[in-house]
Copies of this chain bind each other. A is one copy, B any other.
């Protein structure tokens, strides 16, 4: 089974479990609506690619980890779109969850998906509970306080922002979860894989800043120009468009250089370049990443 199919299968299985039995139907429907049709599933693709590069010794646990990470990410999108945050009407080209249902259902959808993420890992503990517990710990660390995406959002309520901590928590955290969880699911230590996740996160942040500045709403599937509108720090406002593009290329070559020695090292480098092409703005897509 290819990686995308593994992810969709694992995510779908989790959602079906969450909707089973005597469940409130609006919330049950919103769980599915929030995760399907998915975006590029970049985070679990990276997670499973790292697991494969490390030998993929426990594919069932890796699949659960990929699904858990995607569920957590989708939960964060649902909550980020709420009126008290971005007040976004659109997500992935369709009405955001609170627009399609209600604010209360959207809060519950996010809460349920967060819980489902941890439940998915707990259910996959079977033959290797110690590794499952490590995965749960890593996912929690990169999601919550003080280092995870909750902290990242929390920084936006501070009068004085620690920019490095902000970007690390807001965007890099779930990519660090992806690389470290992929390694752990395959029986490796997480630490050597942190830098790759951090650098992919930095690249993603700069690419996202470029897309927000250069693309229209129809291309993004969500409102454009949000950084400018909300006065958020952005690589484009700091470095200009050309400066941000140069920074993106530097980060990507650093990311590839940071990949720990492993059986699938070359394939993983290729994957990072391919993913970069997918999420970079259109006029970056033909650029050659250094080392390619």
Contacts and interface: CB of A to CB of B under 8 A. Distances in A.
A45 interface: no
Interface residues of A, number: 61
Contacts of A140: 115-116, 118-119, 122
Interface string A97-138: 000011111011011101110110111010001101110110
Given A23-B146, A82-B107, A105-B154, A129 B125 contact: yes
A79 interface: yes
Interface in A200-243: none
Dominant secondary structure at the A interface: helix
In the A-B complex, the 7 residue pairs with the closest CB atoms? A27-B154, A23-B146, A115-B144, A119-B140, A125-B133, A24-B154, A84-B103
25 contacts: A18-B145, A19-B146, A20-B146, A22-B146, A22-B162, A24-B154, A24-B155, A27-B150, A82-B104, A84-B107, A101-B157, A102-B157, A104-B156, A105-B157, A112-B150, A112-B151, A115-B143, A116-B140, A118-B136, A119-B137, A119-B140, A119-B144, A125-B129, A129-B133, A132-B133
